[in-house]
Structure 1
Amino acid sequence: HMTNLAESMEADLKVHQKPSPVIVRDALGIFLSILFWSNHRPVQLDNLTEQIKTLEMKPLNLEERLEYVLKRGNTFLGFRQLNELVLEQRKLIAKR
């Protein structure tokens, strides 16, 4: 599902349109699900920053990068950052 969302977001950005907020929201939701469940924990959005600090397996500088994505997820750089976070988390899962 994440691949389909990423392709849709990339197609919008190629024609200089911002991706739909719904698509960005869904992609963020999938990333957060991957992040928390790969740490054997349910997704916890209350105090998200504090919850993320307690995770063992996470991409480098996740807090700052995720904050950027949350503020600018519908921009090209926000999309790229989110895509990289997903790829990095997948690599961490594979290493484990």
Structure 2
Amino acid sequence: MSGYIPSDLDHPFFKGIITNPTPITADVTLFSHEISYYSGGGGKGPWNEPAQSVPMLFAAWESLREEISLAFKIRDKALITSAMRKGVGLFLHVLFWSNGQPVSLASMPGSCGLSVKPANCRDRIQFLIDRPDLFHSFIQLGELMDEQYKQFQVKLAKVTKNR
């Protein structure tokens, strides 16, 4: 699939990540399942089992948070931008998979009818995309992850209660 980007994943902020996928952890490579899904690979994606897949994404965030923090400590702007792009991509995975959907960059959050999401999600993501190299963006990304974690836990509790 070298070079092919499905229209649902075609977004300039993520082009390098999508065309040259790099693993966040051994278990998480951004957009790999979505590329297969949107390219006609079909199958059952991890977003169909959010209770199993989303905790793995939150675990990946812990190691990526350290990488981003280190990039800010050494003040390497290229490394900061690269790591923050991965961080925003990881957040979008958490956001969409929490809602049982594959990531779709064509319908960015806020306009895609997601029910489990942080307040002002669309504006906050746009801030991260517009200014990935600001330390405040890193703080904002951490807050989005924390808020999504809480929202996801509430969703899981409701699902468990209704069984």
**TM-score w.r.t. structure 1 length?**
0.86
Question: CA offsets, 1:23-51, max 9 Å, x none?
Answer: 11211111000100101111111131522
Give unmatched runs, 5+ long, in structure 2. Answer: 1-59, 156-163
Aligned length: 94
User: Is 2:132–2:138's contact at 8 Å kept on the other side of the alignment?
Assistant: yes
Give unmatched runs, 5+ long, in structure 1. Answer: none
1:22 to 59, 79, 82: 82
Q: Tell me whether 1:85 sits opposite 2:148 in the alignment.
A: no
**TM-score w.r.t. structure 2 length?**
0.53
2:101 to 41, 57, 72: 41
Give the distance between the partners of 2:76 and 2:85, measured in 1 at CA.
Answer: 16
Which of these two proteins has the greater Rg computed from alpha carbons? Answer: 2
- Identity %, equivalent residues: 33
Give the distance between the partners of 1:15 and 1:9, measured in 2 at CA.
Answer: 10
Q: CA RMSD in A?
A: 1.5
Question: CA offsets, 1:44-63, max 9 Å, x none?
Answer: 11131522xx1111001111
